[in-house]
A = this chain, B = another copy of it.
């Protein structure tokens, strides 16, 4: 049985969902709409004073859920792998500075090498940044991405692979982000969500929908109810696995970005209550 959603206490919106807004507009508008969870994408932090962002979050009683995103560890180039480590250490500093307790990792893949090799480099990369994450008290969430991104965005393409990796690294600071968009098609999903919960690795839950047809590889995600994903069912699995965190709305959509973002936020709230 899926629990009914009655309020917005566990609703979080990704700043990228309302891409037109800068960090200030996101904070003000989310708070005004009664939404108090926010996952902050790093692009909106560029040229910002991070302590000032932290103060603003506190002033508006906004809870930073995650910083999005770190990762992109694999490369055939040693220098690029080193650059990735440096960038992930910077992300940890940024997360700590704004008070975000977690970083979502889009793990990366290099089409010049095998997916196995890329996965080894991902595990190596996470292990390398783990001491800094622990010291800063910032969790790292491995996000498996849809197999259509295996070419160059992530060699971690199923929840099973993310679970395997989190269990291999075996740290309370490393877990998994479950995104319905990436994982809905997998017949092992329920079982792997349960496994993820049992190992205390279920760190985040992202929702949106899969449009039919989908016309763009990146920016044609649907609002919950627009497409074919049974979001309530997957949410019930996540909750049965013990997850009590935020339901994070992460939608990249040229269609919705072209609309009035305040009206869109109201649509998100409605879809959250009725279709999630």
A151–B230 touching, CB < 8 Å: no
Q: Does any Cβ of B come within 8 Å of A60's Cβ?
A: no
Cα distance, A150 to B189, chains bound together (Å): 14
A260 an interface residue at 8 Å Cβ cutoff? no
Query: Which of B151, B212, B215 is the one whose CB lies under 8 Å from A214?
Result: B151
In Å, the complex CA distance between A161 and B214 comes to: 23
Q: A119 vs B186: C-alpha distance in the bound complex, in angstroms?
A: 13
In the complex, the answer to whether B114 meets A227 with C-beta atoms within 8 Å is no
Interface status of A187 (Cβ within 8 A of chain B): yes
Q: How far is the CA of A10 from the CA of B116 in the complex (A)?
A: 30
Please report the C-alpha to C-alpha distance between residue A242 and residue B263 in the assembled complex, in whole angstroms: 59
Decide if the interface of chain A is mainly helix, strand, loop or mixed. loop
Distance (Å) between the CB of A174 and the closest chain B CB?
Answer: 20
Which A177-195 residues have a C-beta within 8 angstroms of B? 184-187
**Known interface pairs A213-B217, A217-B217; A148-B151 also in contact (CB < 8 Å):** no
Cβ-based interface call for A9 (8 A): no
Give the bracket for the number of chain A residues in contact with chain B.
20 to 34
CB contact list, A146-182 vs B, under 8 A: 146-148, 150-152, 157-158, 161
Given A147-B147, A187-B161: A111 touches B212 (CB 8 Å cut-off): yes
Give the complex CA separation of A20 and B25 in angstroms: 52
Interchain CA distance A212-B157 in the complex, whole Å: 16
A147-B185, A187-B161 given; A152·B213 CB < 8 A? yes
A40 within 8 A of B: no
A147 and B161 alpha carbons, distance in the complex (Å): 16
Please state if A214 and B213 are interface contacts (CB–CB under 8 Å). Answer: no
* Residues of A that sit less than 8 Å from B by CB: 111-112, 114-116, 146-148, 150-152, 157-158, 161, 184-187, 210-215, 217, 227-228, 230
Given A147-B148, A214-B217; 14 other pairs, CB 8 A cutoff:
A111-B227, A111-B228, A112-B228, A115-B187, A116-B187, A146-B148, A151-B210, A151-B212, A151-B213, A151-B228, A152-B212, A152-B228, A157-B185, A217-B217
Task: Give 13 A-B contacts (CB < 8 Å), ordered by A residue.
Answer: A111-B227, A115-B187, A116-B187, A146-B148, A147-B186, A148-B214, A151-B210, A151-B213, A151-B214, A151-B227, A152-B212, A152-B213, A161-B187
